[in-house]
């Protein structure tokens, strides 16, 4: 190569410069970065390279920021640098779609949370409230987040009255998922009337009482779109209340039910076969010690050839059963009983069985577990195309850690 030609390719006084990439190319490169919290540091590093990389990365960085006690002050100073809402807007607040403050304990203040919500209200779609720094003033700011789809108040320690919650909830007509405060207001008629008609999932921890439910008229018409319900830490709620609540006339479209510990009234009364009758529940999650022996069948006690035996009610739609482990389970449960309940009993539509690892270990019999897994997969294969679960999706899944 001619020396003059070589010198023309080098920048004066230094090495050759790299051509600047167009914004469209950089944006396409960053589209391959997973939108998960673990990649926040990568996006942050990219935003420091140049103005082009900053322009492409900043939207993804602030769309769902990872907020901890360590970076909370810096984040709030970026979003709301002044207490005066009308000055020094930098455009970052409009980028926020997910605001998860669940990792904060005693950081910030209730007034700062309210200011933060006031800044991000334009585009906010998901909000998880902090434990200590969320109060009545934050509720007022929250009511202006008209695009909110997911609201989790389950960590909030401050108790609100039904009237205070109603003022906020009736303005959030885009809401699809709602987790009530753990100190929660009791579900009453006024509060249910203000829930968005499109609400699909509800998580109640501490806000249900026996005497309050039956007094609510036309409960089913108040929750027309609700398909998922999680109940936990309701010390005054009895087994019969949940059985009544899940009936089709109360929640006509309910498909998913999860009952969590602690439930003080369940120490002596457990779910039997009546839990799934007259319901549309397809997915049930429950601690195994909440189930009575009558939930399953015992072929050793039944003569199927008896003319007086009319068989089991197989009209339920249960296709997924998740059994959690809290305390040592009752000895009546074993894989034979589960198999009989699927093959000859009420759970003929069951295709997926999720077991806590400790429960699976307590039940033992690895060969029986594998046989039941293969049987569920075979049933899914016989269901053919168009079924809810195919063969790969059916079977037994283990979750949780051994205890």
| CA of residue 22 relative to chain centroid, distance | 39
The rounded distance, in Å, linking the Cα atoms of 347 and 278 is 14
With a cut of 70, list the residues of the chain below it in pLDDT.
1-19, 82-89, 184-190, 207-220, 267-269, 298-315, 328-332
364: left (phi over 0), alpha (psi -120 to 50) or beta: left
Geometric angle at alpha carbon 13, from 10 and 15, rounded to 5°: 45
Q: How many CA atoms lie within 13 A of 286 on its CB side?
A: 24
Residue 364 dihedral angles phi and psi, to the nearest 5°:
65, -155
Q: Residue 377: helix, strand or coil by DSSP?
A: helix
Q: Are 177 and 154 in contact (CB under 8 A)?
A: no
Buried b (16+ CB within 10 A) or exposed e, 272-281: bbebbeebbb
- CA-wise closest residue to 151 among 189, 178, 112: 178
Report pTM.
0.84
Q: Which residues contact 44 (CB under 8 A, 6 or more apart)?
A: 57, 61
The secondary structure of 343-373 as a DSSP string is: HTSS-TT--EEEEEHHHHHHH--HHHHHHHH
pLDDT tens-place string over residues 285-330: 999 888 888 888 755 554 445 544 445 566 688 999 999 987 765 5
Instruction: Select 20-63's CATH number: 1.10.600, 1.20.1280, 3.30.1560, 2.60.480.
Output: 1.20.1280
Residue 177 DSSP symbol: E
For the chain, the domains span 20-63
Residue 291 DSSP symbol: B
């Amino acid at each position: 190569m001619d020396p003059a030609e070589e010198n023309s390719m080098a920048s004066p006084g230094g090495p050759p410069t790299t051509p600047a990439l167009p914004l469209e190319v950089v944006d396409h490169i960053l589209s391959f970065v997973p939108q998960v919290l673990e990649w926040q540091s990568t996006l942050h590093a990219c935003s420091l390279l140049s103005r082009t990389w900053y322009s492409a990365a900043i939207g993804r960085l602030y769309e769902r920021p990872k907020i901890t006690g360590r970076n909370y002050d810096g984040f709030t100073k970026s979003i709301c640098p002044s207490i005066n809402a009308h000055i020094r807007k930098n455009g970052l607040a409009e980028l926020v779609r997910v605001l998860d403050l669940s990792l904060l304990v005693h950081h910030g203040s209730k007034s700062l949370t309210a200011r933060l919500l006031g800044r991000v209200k334009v585009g906010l779609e998901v909000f998880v409230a902090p434990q200590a720094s969320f109060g009545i003033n934050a509720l007022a700011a929250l009511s202006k987040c008209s695009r909110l789809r997911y609201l989790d108040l389950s960590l909030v320690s401050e108790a609100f009255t039904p009237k205070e919650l109603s003022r906020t909830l009736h303005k959030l007509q885009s809401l699809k998922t709602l987790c009530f405060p753990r100190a929660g207001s009791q579900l009453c008629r006024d509060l249910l009337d203000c829930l968005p008609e499109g609400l699909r999932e509800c998580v109640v921890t501490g806000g249900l009482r026996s005497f309050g439910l039956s007094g609510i008229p036309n409960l089913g018409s108040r929750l027309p779109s609700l398909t998922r319900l999680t109940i936990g830490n309701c010390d005054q709620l009895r087994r019969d209340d949940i059985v009544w609540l899940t009936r089709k006339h109360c929640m006509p479209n309910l498909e998913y039910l999860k009952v969590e510990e602690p439930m003080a009234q369940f120490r002596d009364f457990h779910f039997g076969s009546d839990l799934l009758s007259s319901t549309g529940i397809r997915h049930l999650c429950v601690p195994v010690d909440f189930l009575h022996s009558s939930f399953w069948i015992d072929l050793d006690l039944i003569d199927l050839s008896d003319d007086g035996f009319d068989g089991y009610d197989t009209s339920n739609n249960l296709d997924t059963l998740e059994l959690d482990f809290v305390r040592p389970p009752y000895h009546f449960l074993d894989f034979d009983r589960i198999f009989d309940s699927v093959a000859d009993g009420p759970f003929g539509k069951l295709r997926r069985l999720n077991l806590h690892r400790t429960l699976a270990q307590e039940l033992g019999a690895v060969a029986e577990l594998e046989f039941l897994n293969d049987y569920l997969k075979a049933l899914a294969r016989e269901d053919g195309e168009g079924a809810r679960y195919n063969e790969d999706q059916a079977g037994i899944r283990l979750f949780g850690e051994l205890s």
